[in-house]
Amino acid sequence: MTRWVLHVDMDAFFASVEQILNPALRGKPVIVAGSVEDRGVVSTASYEARRYGVRSAMPTSQARRLCPEGVFVTANHIAYEDYSGRVLEVLKGYSPLVEQASIDEAYLDVTGCESLYGDAVEVARRIKTAVTKETGLTCSVGVSSNRLLAKMASGLDKPDGLTVLRTEDVPRVLWPRPVGFLHGIGPSTAARLGTMGLSTIGDLARYPADLLVREFGVGGRHLRDAANGLDDTPVPPLGQAGEVKSLSRETTFATDIDDLAELERTLLGLSDQVARRLRRHGYRGRTVTVKIRKADFTTVTRSRTLAEATDLTEAVYEAARQTLRAFWRARLKVRLLGVAVSHLASAGRGPADLFDTSDKLRRVSKAVDRIKDRYGEGALTRARLLGREEERP
């Protein structure tokens, strides 16, 4: 039986969600960043903005120069996670073998599903239609006999594409392309291959395996296999691809901050965002980590482990605040501040204790979550954060 794997890749996901949430943004060059200030970094750009050369991981200041008419939007991760979950629910209806690779992409093994939904291409068409119907978003789908080629295929015709890439198509479609186009090869590896005279995927595919192993170790053989379109990595059942290790939020300041009170206010906002994500995903965590990037770009992290796992803003913030204060020194200037919670476990569902303060706080927090889910993140704000231009989570 021929194996069939699909790679579903959402198109300009963050920017597309913003255009769904605010129809006035449709057709405009939308640029989503962790911070809309010039020292932020682009998370995603709509296809309208990409025509100007704007790309992910580009400094916001550079994006402004390339696209002066760009509409800059602060990342709304709660909304993105919601839409990602809705897409995942669609995919789960077509195969038990689904692996979510990231917030905006997933693999499906649809081998043997022909009697239910038709061949792999028909499944891909159905998925594209269902995703758009459920979310209003478009996706590009790659269809192949393995994960690697399905991943490569989904990027060949974006946005809203459907591409079949068979192993026998590899010499014609992939070999003429630059070696850096091959999934899994980053700039440094591409540069090393270039010094060996390997500039195209075809050069790599034909290069002796033993010489690649000599240069790259056991990974050399994998590089040659990938260049020939070979990959036997399975798509595991949903939930077996690894648990979430931590949840975090961070912000880069427009100007370096040396005021401890202002840093603590920022820390409260970040702690609130992380705790909300913990509750949303049904986790509690025991270790709180504060990330501090100083003005000279030196980055340090400091952690504190709690006696009991929590999903409450108050507990996360207090641990983070104590951690920051222990590190704080006069005249320290902070460029970036972040909060993470790790050592996660599923939240228990035991009976509530009416005399347990934390349980009361949790019930209040979940009530606030429901209001924000319905009316938006700005519907309720902590009094201490009023008057501060807070980044949306």
Residues pairing with 145 in the sheet: none
What is the full DSSP assignment across 83-106? Answer: HHHHHHHHHHTT-S-EEEEETTEE
Q: Which amino acid is at 117?
A: Y
User: Cα–Cα–Cα angle for 79, 393, 129, nearest 5°?
Assistant: 15
Q: Which long-range contacts (CB under 8 A, 24 or more apart) does 80-85 make?
A: 80/13, 80/14, 80/17, 80/104, 81/277, 81/280, 83/13, 83/17, 83/20, 83/135, 83/137, 84/13
Has 105 been annotated as catalytic? yes
Distance CA 111, CA 126 (A): 15
DSSP state of 4: -
Six token digits for residue 41? 């970094």
Kindly write down the DSSP assignment for every residue of 243-290, as one continuous string. Answer: ---EEEEEEEEEEEE--HHHHHHHHHHHHHHHHHHHHHHTEEEEEEEE
Write the burial class of residue 277 (CB in 10 Å: 0-12 exposed, 13-18 middle, 19+ buried): buried
Say if residues 182 and 174 touch (Cβ distance below 8 Å). Answer: yes
Pairing of strands 139-144, 98-102: unpaired
User: Which tokens go with 151?
Assistant: 């991943």
Q: How many whole angstroms separate alpha carbon 336 and alpha carbon 364?
A: 30
159 preceded by cis ω (within 30°)?
Answer: yes
For residues 41 and 62, give the distance between their C-alpha atoms in angstroms, rounded to a whole number. 9
In the set 105, 250, 390, 391, the catalytic residue is 105
Q: Catalytic residues, which ones?
A: 105
